[in-house]
């Protein structure tokens, strides 16, 4: 079934059974994960109507939960720390209806969030795959078209002193520091407000995962490859609908 609400900028490609638990792999991270927060935390785009019976939990770096007041705000929005224990708790609940949303590329991928680029840090990311197998949670690839378009970022090509500094700071602090800019409140030449560009989030078809508490390396690799193939197919199927050139393809890093 296909269902599209033009005002919400959210597209689904298949129904999700609310009796199951899911792990949504969100790509790309972008500068501020704006698409994931809007769709899966505020529900402003009609998620509850598109997927009745599902409750989403977006993972966020644990350090943000140490900030007074801000911690309460993000907890009210349904965010949880990106630790294995926190992510596992909703997936352990009987009866299903829970979806853990993981921006798989994490903070390092934010440094690649340049307009017109489609770099996805996924080639070596297998932790969420293993978690899905351990809990029997179905995997759902999600791609957010326009996520990298709402901010400009200072050029930080790999190998430059700026990128080296950003990566070192990210290793020390746990958060990346992309030097981004866009527009202001009363002018449109410079500022930290995002550009007024649409973000279209496409929720892919679920990949069935049978519970396997001790998967072998071969089983893990096979499911990881299947997930990458499904994400690539999702991108190729919908890219031209959202202004992406037909010669553009995902680059798995």
The mean pLDDT value of the chain amounts to 92
Segments in the chain forming alpha helices (H): 34-40, 47-50, 70-76, 84-92, 106-110, 127-135, 161-173, 217-238
Q: Residue 219's CB: how many other CB atoms inside 10 A?
A: 14
Cα-to-chain-centroid distance, residue 230: 15
Provide, rounded to the nearest whole percent, the portion of the chain with pLDDT above 70.
96
pLDDT tens sequence across 135-149: 999 999 999 999 999
Is residue 133 assigned to a domain? Answer: yes
Q: What percent of the chain has pLDDT over 90?
A: 85
Q: Is 167 within a domain?
A: no
pLDDT value at residue 1: 29
Q: What is the mean pLDDT of residues 106-133?
A: 96
**144 with 30: CB under 8 angstroms?**
yes
Q: Has residue 43 got a pLDDT over 90?
A: no
In terms of pLDDT, which residue wins out, 222 or 197? 222
Q: Does 170 map to a domain?
A: no
- The Cα-based distances of 147 to 40, 77, 109, 143, 152 in angstroms read 14, 20, 12, 9, 11
What is the band of 9 on the pLDDT scale with cuts at 50, 70, 90?
low
Task: Give the domain range for residue 142.
Answer: 3-146+199-252
Flag whether 181 is in a domain. Answer: no
Question: pLDDT tier at 3 (50, 70, 90 boundaries)?
Answer: very low
Model pLDDT, residue 173: 87
pTM as predicted:
0.93
Span 95-121, average pLDDT: 96
29 found inside a domain: yes
Res. 32: pLDDT tops 70: yes
Residues whose CB is less than 8 angstroms from the CB of residue 223 and which lie 6 or more positions away in sequence, other chains included: 129, 132, 133, 139, 207, 209, 215
Q: What's the pLDDT score for residue 110?
A: 96
The region, left, alpha or beta by phi > 0 then psi within -120 to 50, assigned to residue 216 is: beta
* Domains held by the chain: number: 1
- Specify if 230 maps to a domain: yes
Q: Which residue has the higher pLDDT, 7 or 116?
A: 116
Strand, coil or helix: 101: strand
Tens digit of each residue's pLDDT (9 = 90 or more) over 157-213:
999 999 999 999 999 988 899 999 999 988 888 899 999 899 999 999 999 999 999
pLDDT value for 5? 30
**Three-state DSSP state, 120:** strand
Indicate whether 62 belongs to any domain.
yes
CA dist 175 and 169 (Å) reads: 8
Evaluate whether residue 203 is within a structural domain: yes
């Amino acid at each position: 079934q296909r269902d599209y609400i033009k005002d919400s900028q959210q597209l689904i490609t298949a129904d999700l059974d609310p009796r199951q638990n899911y792990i949504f792999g969100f790509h790309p991270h972008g500068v501020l994960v704006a698409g994931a927060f809007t769709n899966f935390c505020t529900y402003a785009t009609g998620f509850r109507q598109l997927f009745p019976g599902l409750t989403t939990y977006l993972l966020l770096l644990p350090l943000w939960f140490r900030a007074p007041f801000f911690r309460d705000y993000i907890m009210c929005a349904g965010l949880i720390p990106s630790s294995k224990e926190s992510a596992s708790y909703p997936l352990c609940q009987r009866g299903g209806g829970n979806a853990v949303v993981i921006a798989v590329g994490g903070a390092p991928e934010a440094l690649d969030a340049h307009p017109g680029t489609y770099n996805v840090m996924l080639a070596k990311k297998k932790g969420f795959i293993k978690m899905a197998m351990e809990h029997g949670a179905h995997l759902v690839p999600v791609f957010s078209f326009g996520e990298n378009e709402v901010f400009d970022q200072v050029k930080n090509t790999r190998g430059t002193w700026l990128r080296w500094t950003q990566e070192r700071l990210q290793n020390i602090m746990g958060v990346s520091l992309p030097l981004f800019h866009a527009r202001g409140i009363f002018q449109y030449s410079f500022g930290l407000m995002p550009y007024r560009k649409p973000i279209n989030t496409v929720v892919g078809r679920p990949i069935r995962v049978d519970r396997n508490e001790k998967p072998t390396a071969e089983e893990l690799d096979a499911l990881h490859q299947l997930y990458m193939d499904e994400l690539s197919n999702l991108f190729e199927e919908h890219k031209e609908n959202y202004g992406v050139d037909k010669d553009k393809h995902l680059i798995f890093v």
